[in-house]
Amino acid sequence: MTRLADVMTTDVLTVSENATLSQVARALRSRNVGSAIVIDEQELAIGIISERELVDSVAGGRNPDQGTAQLWMRPELLTANVDTSAEEATEIMRANNVRHLPVSSDGKVVGVVSISDLLVGIPG
């Protein structure tokens, strides 16, 4: 059984809740990742923002230099445990229509897994 700990990315990109959409887009591009965990002033995870939210914001007419991560993030921070199987994580992502899933251990985000990580990590 492939666990999320085996396929997740551990170098988690975080962005401030006050980061502009332009700043988020540049951070995603520079790190070559599809999502970032949004943190508040106490550095607590409060949401996730992905390429999908950036596209939705621009398509909706938002000026990327004025919209913030907090306004466009998904505030429901759906997570899975490091011991969750890749198969179970795939089902969680499918059921919630997400392509990036933060991975937690002892209540802290320790990684992120994408749908492409899971496709590579599931044998057969």
Dist CA 108 CA 99 (whole Å): 20
User: Is residue 123 scored above 60 in pLDDT?
Assistant: no
Per-residue confidence (pLDDT) for residue 122, from 0 to 100: 59
Per-residue confidence (pLDDT) for residue 56, from 0 to 100: 87
pLDDT tens per residue across span 44-95: 899 999 998 999 888 888 788 888 999 999 998 899 999 999 999 999 999 9
Per-residue confidence (pLDDT) for residue 40, from 0 to 100: 93
CATH code of the domain made up of 4-121:
3.10.580.10
Per-residue confidence (pLDDT) for residue 27, from 0 to 100: 97
Domain ranges of the chain: 4-121
* Run of H or E residues at 108: strand 108-114
Q: pTM score, two decimals?
A: 0.85
Dist CA 119 CA 124 (whole Å): 10
